[in-house]
Chain A
Amino acid sequence: MASDILTLDTLSLTKGQAVLLDGVSFALQRGKFHALLGPNGAGKSSLMRVLYRAETDATGTVSLEGKPIKDWHRKAYAAKVGALVQESVSLSGLTLAEVVILGLLPLALSRDEAQARCAEALGLVGLANRATEDATHLSGGEQQRLFFAQLLALDPDIYILDEPHNHLDLHYQYVLLDIVRRRGKTVLASFHDLTLATRFCDHAFLLDHGRLAASGTLAEVLTPERLASVYRIDADFTGGALSIRGAIV
């Protein structure tokens, strides 16, 4: 039985009138790959932002290894919980290698070790021969691979991946998630592609309107009733594939 590494207890978040998270409680198990599912606006990104500490207004408790998040030193926490976030920026004036090495900020590494990790990570995402290029002109997919490399170089205990497949072609969607899975670390990744989720995830959490609607294996979570009520589609999810039966509700 795997132990819990990160626990969320009645996590709630309100912005003005909008309730983004409403009493969400669950736990991530050490070494497991977890999917965070839900339609647009269900609260996936908000929840992840709480976990990588970009959102500090939430009520409830998040504990890493039994210690509340607010009691962790920010660097020690950042070394253990790494995030791939959705935020578009222009990387003018920084080389690819410099971007990856910035990801090692929470760790106090020697220059040699930082460079070795950087070279390995850039190799994993297929950007090894472009390490000294300026990152300004990367395409969206290349930028996503670069930020994957940043996270792989850090190699935290918990990977928080907010729509990791964004901008990636099919090859890299599978290759990069496969690399993460083979590292054997704890992962929480949000997905819209349920087939992709099935291939990698041991466990799934389904959010709907800021609440945890279901938790379990993907097959347990994605019943036809929930597909209809949460995703508003008339479909079956069997054998890791989604088949649409009737009209879009």
Chain B
Amino acid sequence: MTRAPYGTTLALGLIALVLAMLAGAFWGTADLPWDDRIAALLRLPHAQPNLELIIWEWRLPRVIMVALVGGALALSGVIMQALLRNPLADPYLLGLSSGASAAATAAIVWMPAAFVASFGLELLAFLGAMLAFVLTLGLAFQPGRGMDKLVLILAGVAISLFFSSVSAFFIHIADPHVTRNALSFLMGSAAGARWADMSPLALALPFGFIATWFCATMLDAVLLGDERATALGVPLPVLRLALLSLAALLTGLSVAGAGIVGFVGLIVPHMARLLVGAPHKRLIPVAVVLGMIVLVVVDLLCRTLLAPEELPLSVLLALFAAPPFVYILRRVRNGF
């Protein structure tokens, strides 16, 4: 398969990302003249204060939040697929998202509001993702035989089901006023995102991006097999522990930001790989940008398709992801 030129692909991706984010800021349920929209976005003196509020306090934080979540989940997917050498590895399928959401739901329902507001939610979501990941890996690992690709996914599904039922239980027993918040975790939504919610992910994503990019060649070596990577001097246990924890952190923060958003971590790395190949120096930037574009566009569709009603992110994502998912599943049988 011929690869797209890397520089052009990344440049086009960045342009598309800016356009998608502008579209996300401009379009919404309110139908207004373009002059007003531009004036509001640029905060011109004659801008309508209410529209300025909508764009600056509602839409932009939301657009940036979904972009961060899309990028973080794509990066998690790239890390997990490389280090587990499993094309199906993804924070959603391996149960991390459900683990994070169960912990976040528990936090919303049980923890004091002040704790939840001061990064307690993010911390618990990360720990939940980590716990679910460890459980999935523990369930899938067979001593002496390693880890079968499909068994790992089945283990992830089992853990995911368990944590989903934990979340459902918390929501069921809780006060109805708080459960509305908690419910959005299960379906994925960035509605109500505020600037103040953004800082953990806005810090973690660039950090994670740079850290992973510096490990890119080692990740390439892991694709050759554990033994070869070790023989080439890659410190595999340390690399796995550090980067898989980073993937769990990014997933936990994404879930805290926008709830369970499935399939981005699975599909986007494959799309990026089809474009620029498997070497991670090229794959990581392209996957992150693609993940951002995909989620910004999907969120825009969720807001506008049935306006003024909003669809949860997972509804449209599952619809878009089903065909590529089937394609990847078929390829797994022929190796990766």
Residues of A within 8 A of B (CB): 15, 49, 52-54, 74-75, 77-79, 81-83, 85, 87-95, 98-99, 102-103, 105-106, 134, 136, 147, 160
Contacts and interface: CB of A to CB of B under 8 A. Distances in A.
B217 A105 contact: yes
Top 4 A-B residue pairs of the complex, sorted by shortest distance between their CB atoms? A93-B278, A78-B233, A90-B335, A87-B225
A92 B334 CA distance: 10
Contacts of B335: 90, 92, 136
A189 to B, nearest CB: 15
B310 interface: no
Given A78-B231, A78-B233, A89 B217 contact: no
Contacts of A75: 233
A105 B227 contact: no
A87 B229 CA distance: 11
15 contacts: A49-B227, A52-B231, A78-B231, A78-B232, A85-B231, A87-B228, A89-B224, A90-B334, A93-B279, A94-B278, A98-B220, A98-B277, A102-B221, A102-B232, A147-B228
A94 B223 contact: yes
B225 A89 contact: yes
Contacts of A88: 225
Contacts of A136: 335
B240 interface: no
A interface majority secondary structure: mixed
Given A52-B230, A75-B233, A87-B228, 14 more contacts: A49-B227, A53-B231, A74-B234, A89-B223, A90-B335, A90-B336, A91-B223, A93-B223, A93-B278, A94-B277, A94-B278, A102-B220, A134-B1, A147-B228
A63 B270 CA distance: 44
Contact of B279 (A78, A94, A160): A94
A92 B278 contact: yes
- Centre residue among B144, B230, B277 by max chain A CB count within 10 A: B230
Interface of B: 1, 85, 144, 217-218, 220-221, 223-228, 230-235, 273, 277-279, 334-336
A93 B3 CA distance: 10
Contacts of A89: 85, 223-225, 228
A54 B231 contact: yes
A105 B219 CA distance: 11
Contacts of A81: 231
A95 B216 CA distance: 16
A15 B143 CA distance: 11
A74 B336 contact: no
A92 B278 CA distance: 7
A49 B232 CA distance: 13
Contacts of A102: 217, 220-221, 224, 232
Contacts of A53: 230-231
A49 B226 CA distance: 11
Contacts of B223: 89, 91, 93-94
B141 to A, nearest CB: 15
Contacts of A79: 233
A144 to B, nearest CB: 13
Contacts of A99: 224
Nearest to A136: B335
A160 B232 CA distance: 12
A179 B305 CA distance: 65
A83 B231 contact: yes
Contacts of B235: 74
Nearest to B283: A93
B178 to A, nearest CB: 45
Contacts of B278: 92-94
A85 B233 contact: no
Contacts of A147: 228
Contacts of B279: 93-94, 98
Nearest to B236: A54
B149 to A, nearest CB: 11
Contacts of B336: 90, 92
Nearest to B1: A134
Contacts of B231: 52-54, 78, 81-83, 85, 160
B234 A105 contact: yes
Nearest to A92: B336
Given A90-B335, A94-B279, A95-B277, A103 B232 contact: yes
